[in-house]
Amino acid sequence: LLEMKNIKKSFDDVEVLKDISLKVEKGEVLCIIGPSGSGKSTLLRCATNLETKDSGEINYQGSFGLVFQNFNLFPHHTVMKNIVNAPIKVQKRDKDEVYKEAKSLLKKMGLEDKENAYPCELSGGQQQRVSIARALAMNPDILFFDEPTSALDPELTGEILKVIKDLAAEDMTMVIVTHEMNFAKNVADYIIFMENGYIVEQGSPEEVFASQNTRMKEFLGKFE
Ligand code: ATP
Ligand code: MG
């Protein structure tokens, strides 16, 4: 579904992505972990065209959605408007159909009573569920998450991780940058550990969490 080959990216003189290659198959969940500044967000931004790569190749089949750390909802639009705007305006889809689908997405997210609320009237966890609903309303083939829970309190983190787990159970293809190691272990089919612009370790959760790589062990040690 997604293939990135030999991606390189520099900001000024600093090479932030150094020859990154990865593949995501349909129905697969890829988790990207690694220390702050290792290039995880830049990789996601290159994959989703928010940033231009310097070299390398990106091959896609289908469309993608993106969920950010800070929700990025339009503050002056209601929950419903936030969700239906792009499918109607960008995808030019039938209004009634989009509203109907948005209602069922809100129900799925446990927010059926919030469609007329404004983002500032919602908790962080609720806002994040709206932004997941908004991404899903575009019917993406692949969903990218950049630290979807790092702006949330621990109890709200759990509710978002649950939503993502449910999506995984429905075979949604996802690429998730996360600092939640237990979650990554549970939900990922494949894990990439990045450091300093390189993929230092990768494999199944079992492989990566049992890695004898010094850098990997040092990183995982911080979560114990
Ligand atoms: P975190 O876990 O803190 O989110 P990250 O792994 O997502 O970190 P990136 O945001 O990808 O890291 O940043 C990697 C490096 O690239 C950092 O050194 C950062 O300062 C630099 N960088 C990122 N975006 C820009 C930019 N627009 N201009 C200049 N430097 C940037
Ligand atoms: Mg980041």
For the four alpha carbons of 74, 129, 65 and 55, in that order, the dihedral sign comes to positive
pTM: 0.93
Residue having the nearest C-alpha atom to atom 7 of ligand 1: 41
Give the pairing type, strands 198-203 and 190-195: antiparallel
Is this complex scored with an ipTM above 0.90? yes
Helices (H), 73-112: 79-89, 95-108
- Provide mean pLDDT across the span 187-194: 96
What is d(CA 121, CA 114) in angstroms, rounded to the nearest whole number? 9
Backbone torsions φ then ψ of 160, nearest 5 degrees: -70, -40
Q: To which residue do tokens 């150094």 refer?
A: 18
% the chain with pLDDT above 90? 90
Angle CA 29–63–151, to nearest 5: 55
In ligand 1, which atom is closest to the CA atom of 179? 2
Assess whether the C-beta atom of 38 lies below 6 angstroms from ligand 1.
Answer: yes
The two most distant CA atoms of the chain are separated, in Å, by 55
Residue having the nearest C-alpha atom to atom 24 of ligand 1: 42
Distance 31 CA to ligand 1 centre (A): 18
Give 130's pLDDT tier (boundaries 50, 70, 90): very high
- pLDDT of residue 224 exceeding 80: no
Burial 135-144 (b: 16+ CB within 10 A, else e): bbbbebbbbb
